[in-house]
Amino acid sequence: MLIRHALQKLTPFIVEICQIAGTPGLSLAVLHENKEIYQFHFGYRDVAAKLPTDENTTYPIASLTKAFTSSIAGILVDEERLEWTTRLRDIIPEYKRSDTAANITITDLLNHRTGLPSYDALWLLSNNYLPLKRTEAIPILNYVPAVRPLRTDFIYNNMAYEVIGQTIEKVTDSKYAAVLKSRILEPLGLNRTVYTDAPADMENSAKAYAPLENGEPVEIPPAVQGEDAIIGPAGGIRSSVKDMLSIYKAFMEAANFEIENKGQPDPKNPFKQMHQLWRGMLCIWLGKGSTACYFGT
């Protein structure tokens, strides 16, 4: 296959980039037409012990977590426990503003079109230190000044996904971690995908590192760790390449089923509302006359 051959030719360049950037370990896989066509593992999950990476090594997946969070919202919409147009203030009355941002909806939060700034420097400091608590997320959204009118511009906002996580907890009366496990992880049989409450030193888990100027990796504390860590619904999941392949296969199967069945969800697949989650919502100016659309996942 030409695509597989092209990816294999890129492997030396991937290794070189990792070495230049000071990335001690990497696991990479590619799906094409919902089939795995490439998998590659580089370096170490533990530099000091020289433990290699493999398909079951867990890494922080950072903002890929957002696909899980938006998918849980889709499940709740499918069950009529939530609507895409539901206003945040109607679920969390502590959210109070006097401007147009008072009317932000679930869709606005998921698609980064609230007009509110993210202020990422507030919640993530050096050495992966999280200075804020989850209870401070709503007060922050109450306080920050809007920088653009509602639904007019794309402004990436991690705090918005933290608030979506809290919305999920309010609607289900369960912790986000429990909902994630029961609605997505267990149905798909994902035993290498965990949330922030999992121990950082779980077996076959990549340690966190920061590179020095010469590219030497230095171990630092793990990111977004703890039973109730802020920004968990935005970036707190750890997973492996093997599990991520299963997840994205399920995404594609759910989307294709809805296309073939006029929007009806696959009863055997945990992912619902794919026609909404994968619909372009807001054009993003990329410069030189080109645009792109941001999707819900």
Give per-residue pLDDT as tens, 102-142: 999 999 999 999 999 988 988 988 888 999 999 999 999 99
Task: Work out the angle between the directed axes of helices 158-172 and 65-78 (0-180°, nearest 10).
Answer: 40
Question: What is the C-alpha to C-alpha distance for residues 37 and 121, in angstroms, rounded to an integer?
Answer: 38
Neighbours of 290 (CB within 10 A): 8
Type of residue numbered 120: D
Query: What are the pLDDT digits (tens) for 163-198?
Result: 999 999 999 999 999 999 999 999 999 999 999 988
pTM: 0.93
Class of the 55-294 domain?
alpha beta
Label the pairing between strands 59-60 and 209-211.
unpaired
In sequence order, the β-bridge partners of residue 39 are 29
Residue 159: what pLDDT? 97
pLDDT confidence bin for 87, thresholds 50/70/90: very high
Residue 295 has pLDDT above 60, yes or no: no
Count of CB atoms situated within 10 Å of the CB of 73: 29
Tell me the pLDDT band of 221, cut-offs 50, 70 and 90: very high
In angstroms, the Cα distances linking 288 to 39, 212, 237, 291 are 34, 35, 36, 9
Q: What is the mean pLDDT of residues 267-285?
A: 90
Residues 6 or more apart whose CB falls under 8 angstroms from that of 6 comprise none
Between residues 199 and 13, the one the model is more confident about: 13
Q: Return the pLDDT at 290.
A: 59
Q: Which helix (H) or strand (E) holds 6?
A: helix 2-21
Q: How confident is the model at residue 296, as a pLDDT? A: 56
